[in-house]
Structure 1
Amino acid sequence: TLNEIQEYLKDYKLFYPPDPTEKNCSIGGTIATNASGARTLKYGSTRKWINSLLIVLPDGEIMKLRRNEIKAQNFIMSFSTQSGKNYSFKLPEVSIPPVKNAAGYFIEKGMDLIDLFIGSEGTLGVIVEAELKLLDQPEDLISLVIFFENFDDAYEFVDRSRRIKKEKKFSLLSPRALEFFDNRALKFLSHKFPNVQGKKFAIWYEQEVYQENKDEIIDQLSNLILECNGDLENIWFAFNEKEINDIKEFRHAISALVNEYISRNNLKKVGTDIAVPSNYFKEFYNFCCESCRLNLIDYVGYGHIGNDHLHFNMLPKDKIQNELALDLYLEFCKKAVEFGGTISAEHGIGKLKRKYFELMYPEKVLKEMFEIKKTLDPNLILNRGNIFPERFYDEK
């Protein structure tokens, strides 16, 4: 599992950057889904951290893929397996959204073949072995939760933190995680973490530091918090490893608490996994909130705001509200696509989001993606129903 790998690496002062919330997930599963997590802001998703894969194709052919060894010629991908069997197919000439994205196959002109299998949701082959790229453990971390009175100030802090990180002008600030909690998420969390009782909006900020620059970074961060009207007096600051882990548990607890509430009250959750370009995030979040308020549907908002990736969970109280929530979910997906975003930033399409995936690309592009599957899996035996609509399987 991911947790076993990370624990093993501690003895060697190394770590594997991808950090999805579920620590007991399998490494193969994280590769098949191109898993991500809070550290995606700095390190990207799983794709960046895979050096090689050993894959068994549906027909039993075996191939060892090493990064940078097999690349498409423009949009034509050709390769051979260990036995010498040849494969060739055309990639769709399409641009995938310029945001954190886990919807459908990764497609890019001149792309590396290994990246096609990463995030393919088990539809193209079975991953049996992987070589991971590792990094030295950081010397130290600063981790803190900052509270704001309104969403605009919270997002201003996020946006300025990212711009400073990108421009690196006269600043040491370089967050590796920026996570968001709205007032409704904090209300859920306050039952387990009383220090957030009554707070409106919160941002979890985490950064790797060295001892010699830690104090200067904290000073620069404090100034930025003040400039963005953050509550400097009530910051939840982690001073040791236990407290750093407590803040991580705070971030991970929101999903569990929402699910417990759903189960306890025999309700259904309708939750988004949407990311949009940063210039549209505020408008998109406000659109979601206002839509729910107008329809009297309760909701909880949180997510990986550093990547403009929102988990917006609607909590309908009955069957009528559930139908309304599903209608709103469709509208949220349409709005995300209109803004140039994705309907799935990290969870993938699976079987439940197939109809929403069709909002992102013309049917021609989806069928070209499906042709890739048919080339590698001519009998269509691997994970039937994932990603593609059922009608594609029935067409001759």
Structure 2
Amino acid sequence: MLKKIAISVIALFCWLSFSLQADVLKIREDAPASYVVKKGDTLWDISAMYLNQPWLWPQLWQMNPQVDNPHLIYPGNVLTLTFDSMGRPRLSVNENVKRLSPVARKTVKGDGAITTLPLSMIRPFLTYEQALNEEQIEALPYILGTNTATKMAAETHTVYVKGVLQPGTSYGVYRKGKPYVDPDSGSVLGYETSLIATARAFRPGRVATDDSPTEAASMQVLSVKREIKQGDRVMPALEGQSLPAFFQISKPDFDVSGTIIDTTSQLREFSKMDIVVLNRGLINDMKAGQMLGIYRQSPAVIDGKNGPVYVEDASKLDKMLRNFGDNSISMPREKVGELMVFKVAERVSFAIVISTRRPIRVGDAIANL
């Protein structure tokens, strides 16, 4: 019995040792021994100097008692790279060089604090599209017309809305656009719903009763991206647009397999800081801040009697026989970029392209890094 216990303890110790070794982060060869935090730095930027996989930054900062909240790293702090007794790298504030005051350490929203990836960094690149289904769109109040009987309203106009609004509240005016179609199932995942204007309600409107007819709500137009048309939909300005002040960068702890189904740039190819739409959403456990890789299938090759050729260059006979025998060779897919999810709807997500190796295209696959 004692022998079995001893063997079990040894096995457990070996397993723990293996697990600890597996968790050791790989530090870049060109990583600096120390670094002075500068204004505008993010934990992502700093971690990228030390790790080839900067989304693993929590492991680099953990077990640092003097950094109880790594989101509160300030410009001027000197960061030092050390290793613990198990050989695990740790990045910490060098207290011998600069010490934070207790007041500053307790101020969660202190000026100048370094965050993971601040919204302010990517906000200029974001658009205000939403993905709503048919039922959601049909349930929204909509534009009836203007105070000048024009079919399209611009700034300085008063617009009238069928629905009950809250006076003094700002609203967004949206237009239903193209459907987001799942390339696998062919089903509609939602509709592009684009912000075209903002307005503020000053009359609430009223639904019909036995004693009185329906009364239109009234809004004063504040800003216009495109002219407002009759039938455009109205919803509270911040609904669906509330994003975190900073994104907690992470990798999904489950397998992700999806596709880039659209882009807000309307271009055939796009690159870093462009916005893309994914066919994965809340029902697939997607969350803001998740990092994913962008992958592309390499061109298929037929190894025919005259040697290997791409399918597009093969003869008709080779194409007919490609699914028979060993002459059709499956080629791997390669990583062409990375993206971060920043807004999630029920069945789709919006993401920003963080890095690219080649131009990104609609149809490229998304999967775990």
- When you count strand as a share of all residues, which structure comes out higher? 2
Shared topology, TM-score over 0.5? no
Per residue, is there more helix in 1 or in 2? 1
TM-score band (shorter)?
A: under 0.3
> Whose radius of gyration is greater, 1 or 2?
2
By relative contact order (CA 8 Å, sep 6+), the higher-ranking structure is 1
